[in-house]
Structure 1
Amino acid sequence: MSTPTTARHDEIDPGRTEQAASFRWRLVSLALPMLLASLGSSIATVGLPTLAQAFGASFQAAQWIVLAYLLAITTLIVGAGRLGDIIGRRRLLLAGVLLFTAASLLCGVAASFWLLIAGRALQGLGAAIMMALTMALVGDMVAKERTGRVMGLLGSMSAIGTALGPSLGGVLIAELGWRAIFLLNLPLGGLTLLLAHRYLPAERQAPQADSGGFDVLGTLLLALTLGAYALAMTLGRGGFGPPNMALLLAAVVGVGLFLRVESTAASPLIRLALLRDPVLSAGLAMSMLVSTVLMATLVVGPFYLSRALGLDALGVGLALSSGPLLAALAGVPAGLIVERLGAHRMTLAGLCAMAVGCSLLALLPETLGVAGYVIPILLTTASYALFMAANNTAVMSDIRNEQRGVIAALLSLSRNLGLITGASVMGAVFACASATNDITMAHPAAVAAGMRSTFAVALLLIAVALAAAAAGRARSWQ
C-alpha cells in the first residue's frame, strides 16, 4: 500500500540557501573595504625606517607617509559620505576601492619621496570613501534587527587590519622589500572590487530628489578646519609650540565659519538640526572620548612594557597584540549581544567595563607585572568592541536614507579625531606625569607614575562619556 509523498522537514530549501549565500557574500563585500582601509594605515608604520633609508628622508619627513594618509581620511570623510548620499553609495564605494587600489600601485612604483606622499594621500581619499560608505550601506542591505552583528563585523575587520598590519608588513619588507606593502593591495583591491560589483545591490533610485547639490564651500571649510586640528595635534612629536597653537586657533576660527556657512547654505554638507538629535550628538561625543582612551593604551603601552616591566621587543609586541586580537574576535559576538539586549543598555555596559579596565590599568601592573597589564587591556579592548557595536547601531538605526552616508562619515570622523587627540593629549599627560624630557630614558618608577596618571585621566574621560550617554537618553525621552 503506497502512501502520499510528503516533504521532509530536514530538506534544504534551495531558494533560501541561495539567499543566505548571497547575503554572506554581501557581508564579505562590506567587510573587505573596512579591512583595506585599516590595513593601509597600520602596515606602513612598520616600514618607516626602511622607507626613510630608501629615500634618504629624515625621521620627521618619513612620518608624513603615515600622516598624509590619516589627514586625507580626517579631512575628506564627511564630504565623501555626503557625496555618496547624493550620487549613490554603491557607485561611490566602487570608485573608492578603485582609487585606493590605483593609489597603492602609485605608492608601490614611486621613484621619489614626494610621489609616495601623493600616493598615500590618494590612498587616504579612497579609504575615507570606503570607511564612510560601508557603514552607510549596512542600512540599505540589512534589516534593523540584524544591524548589531554587521556593525560588530565591521569593527572586527578594522581591528584585524590594525593588528595584522605591523606583522604582515614586517614579513613583506624582509622577504620582498618595501614596495610589497603597497603592491599587496592590488590583488586585495581587485578582489574587493569584483565582489562589491557582483554582490552589493544596485542603487534603487537616481540621486536623492531633496539632495539639492554638493556643498563645495562647506566641504572645503570643514576639510581645512579638520586638517588644521589634526596638524595641531600631531606636529612636534608631542610638543605644543607656537605652530601648534596657531593651527589650533585656525581650527577654532574654521569651526565658526563652517557653522555660519552651513546655517545659510541651500543644501548644506551637514544639516545643523541633525546635531540637535540627542542620540546622534551623544553618540558622536562618546565615540571621540572612548577612542581617545583607546589610543592611550597604544601610546603608553610600549614605553611601560619596555621601561617599567623590562620586556624585550618580542615581549612588548606580544603584549600589545593581545588587545587588538581580542577586539577582532569580540566584534561579531558583541554585535549579537547588542541585538539581544539593546543598544543603549550595551553602550552603558561597555562604558562601565572600560572604566573598570582603566582603573585596573592604573593599579595592577606594578603589583602583578605583565599579567596585571594584559588582563585589564583585554577587558578594556573587549569593552571597546561592545561599546562601538552598540553606539554605531544606536546612531545608525533610525537615520533617514538620504542622510545615512554623512552620519556614517561623522561616526568614523569622531573615532578618527579621538585617535588623533589621544595620541597627542594622552601622550602629553604621560610625558608630563613621568617628569622627564626623554621618556625612552626614564626611570621605571617615573614611567609607572606616568602610567597611573594617564589612566586616571582616561577614567575621567569615560565618566564624561557615561554622563553624555545618560544626558542623551534623558533628552531623547523628552
Structure 2
Amino acid sequence: MRFDPQTKPPRLAIIALSGAVLLASMAVSITAIALPALSRAMDAPVAAVQWVVLIYLLSVTITIVLAGRCADLFGHRFILLSGLTIFTGSSLLCAIAPNLTTLIIARAIQGIGGAVLMALPVSILRGMVSGERTGSAMGLLASMSAIGTALGPALGGLLIAGFGWRSAFILLTVCGFILLALAIRAIPASEQTQKTRHGLDLSGAFLLAVVLLLYALMASGQQSTIGLGLSITIPAALVALVFFIIVEVKSPSPLVPLSVLRNPAISASLLTNWLISSVMMAMLVVGPLFLSFGLLLGEAQTGLVVAVGPVVAALAGVPAGRLTDRFGTKRILTTGLGVMSIALISMAYLPVQIGITGYIVSLIMLTPCFQLFLAGNNTAIMNAAPEDQRGIISSLMGLSRNLGFMTGASVMATIFISALGQEDLLHATVNSVGSAFTITLLTAAGLAFTSLIISLFSLKE
C-alpha cells in the first residue's frame, strides 16, 4: 500500500499516527502520578521509584536518533510497527512486573518503543500530505502530544485509585495493541528506503548513546546515583562527543549525516527547539512551586491552574497549524516567539502583583504561542529535510526537545533556588519566592528572545 501525497490522507492512518504521539506522551505523564502508589506497593523510597519515570526518558533520549536512522534505512512503516510491538509488549511486562527492578527494566525497553512513537509520526505524516498542508499536520501532532500529557494524570489518577498501579500499564498495553492493529491496516508502505551496503553505523550509535546518557544524567542530576561526579561526567561527555564527530565524518553511512546540519533552517530549528523546550519545562517545574509557596494554593487548586496549560495547548494546536499553512512558517514562527517573549515577561510580573488571575491570564497568552512555535518550527525543518533523511531529521527534532526538557528542568530549577537564596521552600517567605519566580521567568524570556533572533536571521520566507 503506497500513498500519493497529492490526495487526501486516509483517516485511519492519521488516527494511527496521532494515537502514537498521544500514547508516547501518556507513557510519561501517567506513570509520574503512579509514583506514590508504587512507593507504597513496592515498599521502596521515592528516590528509587523515580527511576520508573527517569529510565523511560533516558531510554527515549538515547535511542530516538537510532530509531530515525533505522526508519530511513529499513522503511518507516516497518520501524513504526516494530516500535509499537516493543511498546505494547513491554507495557504488558510492566503490568505484571513482580518487583521494582523488573519494572524499571521493562520501562527501559518501553522507552525504545516510545522513541519510535515520538520520532516517526512526524516524518510519516509529512510524507503523506502536500506541502501546503504540512502546517496543519504538524499542528495536529502537537495537539495530540498536549492531550496525552494532560490525559495521562487524569486517567492514571482514576485507574490507580480504583484498581491499583498495574491498571495504568494495562491501559497502555490495550491502547498499544489497538494502535498496532490499526497501523498494520492503515499505514502505507514506505516509498523507498536507502540502499547502502554499509548498513547501520553501530560505532556511531554507541558513541552517541554514551554522549546522550552522560548529558541526560548531568541534566537530571542523577549522575551521583551511579557513582559519577560532574568532574568525571563533563570531560567524559566531551571526549565521547569528539570521538563521535570523528567517526561520523569518516563513516560511509553515518548515523547522523553532519552535512544536513549545515543547512541553516535545520540547524536553527533544532537549536530553537532545544531553547524553547527548556523554557516550557521551566513553567512545568517552577510554576507549581510558585503557585504552592508563592501564592499559597492547595494541591487541588495548583493542579487545576497547571491543567489550564495543556488544555489550551490541545485547543490551539490545529489552528496554529492552519495559520502556518496560510501565512508561512517564518511569519508564524517569529510571531509566536515574539509574543512568547512578551507573555513570559508578563508571567514574571503579573502573578506576583495580582495573584492567580495574573498567572492564568499569562498562561493563556503563553501557551498558544508555544503551539505557534511548534507548528512553524516543525513545518520549517520538515520542509527543509531531504526526502531520504526525514526519519533522522524527525528524530533529531525529538532529541532536541527531550534534551531541552531535561536542561530546563535542571537549569531553571537551579536558577530558581539560587535566586531564592535557600533550598528549603517551607521556610521561604512569599516575597522571596515571588522574586525568585520573576528572575527565573525573565531568564526564560531571554531564551525566547534569543530564539526569535536566530529564527529571523536563519529562515527564509
Within-5 A mapping of 1:63-212: 63-205=50-192, 207-210=193-196, 212=198
Whether the aligned pair in 1 keeps the contact of 2:126 and 2:137 (CA below 8 Å) is no
Distance in 2, Cα, partners of 1:237 & 1:179: 29
Determine whether 1:51 maps to 2:38. yes
Q: Secondary structure at the match of 2:34?
A: helix
Distance in 1, Cα, partners of 2:230 & 2:102: 26
Distance change >3 Å, CA 213–CA 236, structure 1 → 2: closer
Distance in 2, Cα, partners of 1:336 & 1:35: 20
Distance in 2, Cα, partners of 1:431 & 1:199: 49
Distance in 1, Cα, partners of 2:384 & 2:362: 34
Which whole-Å deviations, capped at 9, do the CAs of 1:136-193 have from their partners, x for residues lacking one? 1022211111111110111011111111111211111100100001010122111111
Residue matched to 1:426: 412
Deviation at 1:353, TM superposition (A): 1.2
Whether the aligned pair in 2 keeps the contact of 1:152 and 1:335 (CA below 8 Å) is yes
Distance change >3 Å, CA 188–CA 214, structure 1 → 2: same
Distance in 2, Cα, partners of 1:212 & 1:30: 30
What TM-score, normalized by structure 1, do the two folds share? 0.92
128-137 vs 250-259, greater mean Cα deviation: 250-259
Determine whether 1:403 maps to 2:389. yes
Residue matched to 2:318: 332
Deviation at 1:209, TM superposition (A): 2.0
Residue matched to 2:376: 390
Q: Secondary structure at the match of 2:33?
A: helix
Seq. identity, %: 43
Residue matched to 1:13: none
Distance in 2, Cα, partners of 1:280 & 1:449: 37
Q: Which residue identity is paired with 2:317?
A: G
Whether the aligned pair in 2 keeps the contact of 1:211 and 1:402 (CA below 8 Å) is no
Among 224, 232, 249, the residue aligned to 2:235: 249
Which whole-Å deviations, capped at 9, do the CAs of 1:384-422 have from their partners, x for residues lacking one? 011001000000013222101000000011111000000
What TM-score, normalized by structure 2, do the two folds share? 0.95
In the alignment, structure 2 segments of 5+ residues that lack a partner are 1-6
Q: Which residue identity is paired with 1:68?
A: I
Distance in 2, Cα, partners of 1:450 & 1:342: 38
Whether the aligned pair in 2 keeps the contact of 1:293 and 1:458 (CA below 8 Å) is yes
Determine whether 1:29 maps to 2:23. no
Distance change >3 Å, CA 214–CA 237, structure 1 → 2: closer
Distance in 2, Cα, partners of 1:461 & 1:245: 27
Distance in 2, Cα, partners of 1:157 & 1:248: 36
Bigger-Rg structure (1/2): 1
Which whole-Å deviations, capped at 9, do the CAs of 1:243-299 have from their partners, x for residues lacking one? 134223322222111111101011001111111100000000000000100011111
Q: Which residue identity is paired with 1:48?
A: L
Q: Secondary structure at the match of 1:100?
A: helix
Distance in 2, Cα, partners of 1:38 & 1:369: 31
Determine whether 1:416 maps to 2:396. no
Q: Which residue identity is paired with 1:427?
A: A
Residue matched to 1:346: 332
Whether the aligned pair in 2 keeps the contact of 1:238 and 1:427 (CA below 8 Å) is no
Distance in 2, Cα, partners of 1:175 & 1:252: 48
Residue matched to 2:270: 284
Among 442, 447, 454, the residue aligned to 2:433: 447
Distance in 1, Cα, partners of 2:356 & 2:223: 28
Q: Which residue identity is paired with 2:337?
A: L
Distance in 1, Cα, partners of 2:294 & 2:197: 56
Whether the aligned pair in 2 keeps the contact of 1:155 and 1:385 (CA below 8 Å) is yes
Within-5 A mapping of 1:467-478: 467-473=453-459
Among 27, 38, 54, the residue aligned to 1:40: 27
Q: Which residue identity is paired with 1:161?
A: G
Deviation at 1:203, TM superposition (A): 2.5
Distance in 2, Cα, partners of 1:366 & 1:84: 48
Distance in 1, Cα, partners of 2:232 & 2:456: 35
Whether the aligned pair in 2 keeps the contact of 1:238 and 1:428 (CA below 8 Å) is no
Whether the aligned pair in 2 keeps the contact of 1:304 and 1:448 (CA below 8 Å) is yes
Distance in 2, Cα, partners of 1:269 & 1:415: 19
Distance in 1, Cα, partners of 2:439 & 2:74: 48
Deviation at 1:425, TM superposition (A): 0.1
Distance in 2, Cα, partners of 1:347 & 1:245: 39
Q: Which residue identity is paired with 2:91?
A: S
Whether the aligned pair in 1 keeps the contact of 2:286 and 2:437 (CA below 8 Å) is yes
Distance in 2, Cα, partners of 1:35 & 1:114: 27
Deviation at 1:212, TM superposition (A): 3.9
Deviation at 1:236, TM superposition (A): 5.0
Distance in 2, Cα, partners of 1:386 & 1:219: 33
> Aligned pair count?
454
